[in-house]
A and B are shown apart, each in its own frame.
Chain A
Amino acid sequence: MGSLASEIEQLYRARYLSFRNGMVGMTGSYESARDVVQEAFAQALRDQEQYRGEGSLAGWVWRIAIRVALDTRRNGRVQTVDELAAEAAVPDRERDPVLAGALRQLAPRRRLIVFLRYFADLSYAEIAEVCEISEGTVAATLAHARADLLLALETEGAIP
């Protein structure tokens, strides 16, 4: 009786930055990421009776957020998470231009999982739930991504 709405609010207050920073790569800007997150939580409140408890509440809201991002980017082209990953953008390039360049060169799926792990601070289990893959695949993908990034940064002379 109302407790799920409170849990949704608590999730928002505790992990807003995680959601926004995770979505920023999928939307291309902090402003649009914020818009997606706000709308995702609003949908979660409206449709809370549809949450069956089959998985984490955060995972459920993340999937709503990705759906909202898909709607935002759709324009008749983007239909799936993989397609969204292919269009994932790197925000704030001036913050770390070398790293931003290396991120842009990552394979789309790897880039998306890097965003979810290091921008959104999701656990391996949460990423697996959101992307519908195994935790082992998450770990392997991140290992490959880190190796790609390390090589790119070394090539650019950006790390000792």
Chain B
Amino acid sequence: MSDTELIEERLRGFPSALDDSDWGDVLRRAAASPLAESNSHTDAPERPHRLLGGTSASGRWRRSRRLALGGIGALAAAGATAALVLVVFAGAGTQNAFAGWTASPTPPASGQTASALSECTSRLVGVAPVAAADWQPLVTDTRGPFTAVILRSGDATATCLTGPSFTTAAVNSTQDGGSQHHLSVSSASGGPPTVSVLAPNGDNSDPINVAAQEQTTVDSQPYTLLQGQTRPGITGVTLVLSDSSRVQATVADSAFVAWWPSHTDASSAQVTDGSGLTTQQLTLTPASPPNPPTPTGQPSSSSP
């Protein structure tokens, strides 16, 4: 062994190999740690020279502000007999509401799903004729610090998306004889959501036979949430968006949900079951237009 190799071996053996990494901690910091109040662009160097003598805004907190949010109802996808009642709650916003989002679901941090379920069901009290304890989670999707939950109680379903700085919730109810989707939304910081549903093709054997896509904004930042029902036996769903990017959905109990921080449409789904992988085109057509916004934080509802 040469002198150089001897020194290099000894140097490389010096630092500790103990791995104390924790990606969840990074996500929590990304969502909650200090941001530059006046100009966060000074925090991240764009060119190397900015390292020299640069300053950051560490320790200052961006002001929070109220915002209003929207959700989507699974029953909207069920066809013409469902009346979708969308409710909106206010939350506190940040400049980057979706920091930490991932294209694939991530394992939940300790207590994350329980906290999200509690937050969602408490938000729904007084809005839906369902006691908080009666909501049962159908499918829960976690991506970094964000949790999307589809809830069910009898014929009613609810959708909830929670993050470090916001919560959205939607209640969906079925009304006998209803013939159209009807949305009602209150929103101060974003427009009412646009809802598209899977166009029926007369073939119930499709892997995904019900789906609804909602596109709305959180503090002027766009997101799309797609949920639906699958044929039994489906174990995986990856959505292919119109820009060719992919988002892996969470699948449970013949239901799936996924969301992404843009208004890019889902165009197809790669579906996995016991026999392999198939691709299904998703033809999404607009549902009924939403009502005009109403004041922030006031849940509202309407019927067909």
Contact = CB atoms under 8 A, between A and B. Distances in A.
A3 to B, nearest CB: 7
Contact of B58 (A2, A68, A118, A153): A68
Contacts of A121: 12
A63 B21 contact: no
B14 A95 contact: yes
A2 B260 CA distance: 8
A43 B10 contact: no
A44 to B, nearest CB: 7
A8 B22 CA distance: 14
Interface in B50-67: 50-54, 56, 58
Contact of A1 (B23, B100, B260): B260
Contacts of B48: 55, 63, 129-130, 132
Interface in B18-62: 18-23, 25-27, 29-30, 33, 35, 40-41, 43-54, 56, 58
Interface of B: 3-4, 6-8, 10-23, 25-27, 29-30, 33, 35, 40-41, 43-54, 56, 58, 96, 99-104, 241, 243, 245, 247, 260-262, 264
Contact of A44 (B13, B17, B44, B262): B44
Interface of B is mostly: loop
A132 B21 contact: no
Contact of B17 (A17, A50, A67, A159): A17
A21 B19 contact: no
Contact of A45 (B7, B30, B41, B51): B30
A12 interface: yes
Contacts of B12: 118, 121
Contacts of B247: 2
A21 B264 CA distance: 40
Interface of A: 1-3, 5-6, 9, 12-13, 16-17, 20-21, 24, 30, 34, 38-39, 41-48, 50-52, 54-55, 60, 63-64, 66-68, 70-71, 79-81, 91-92, 95-96, 99-100, 114, 118-119, 121, 129-130, 132, 146, 149-150, 153, 159
A12 B24 CA distance: 11
B30 A67 contact: no
Given A5-B99, A60-B44, 17 more contacts: A1-B243, A1-B261, A2-B262, A12-B21, A13-B21, A21-B15, A30-B20, A41-B29, A43-B30, A54-B46, A67-B51, A67-B56, A96-B13, A99-B10, A99-B11, A132-B48, A159-B6
Given A3-B245, A47-B40, A119-B15, A38 B8 contact: no
A59 to B, nearest CB: 8
A153 B50 CA distance: 38
A63 B51 contact: yes
A3 B73 CA distance: 28
Nearest to B52: A80
B33 A42 contact: yes
Contacts of A63: 45, 48, 50-51
Contacts of B47: 54
22 contacts: A1-B243, A2-B260, A3-B245, A5-B101, A17-B17, A20-B20, A30-B16, A38-B25, A41-B26, A43-B30, A45-B30, A45-B100, A47-B44, A48-B99, A60-B44, A67-B51, A71-B56, A80-B51, A81-B51, A118-B11, A146-B7, A153-B7
Contacts of A150: 3, 6-7
Nearest to B9: A118
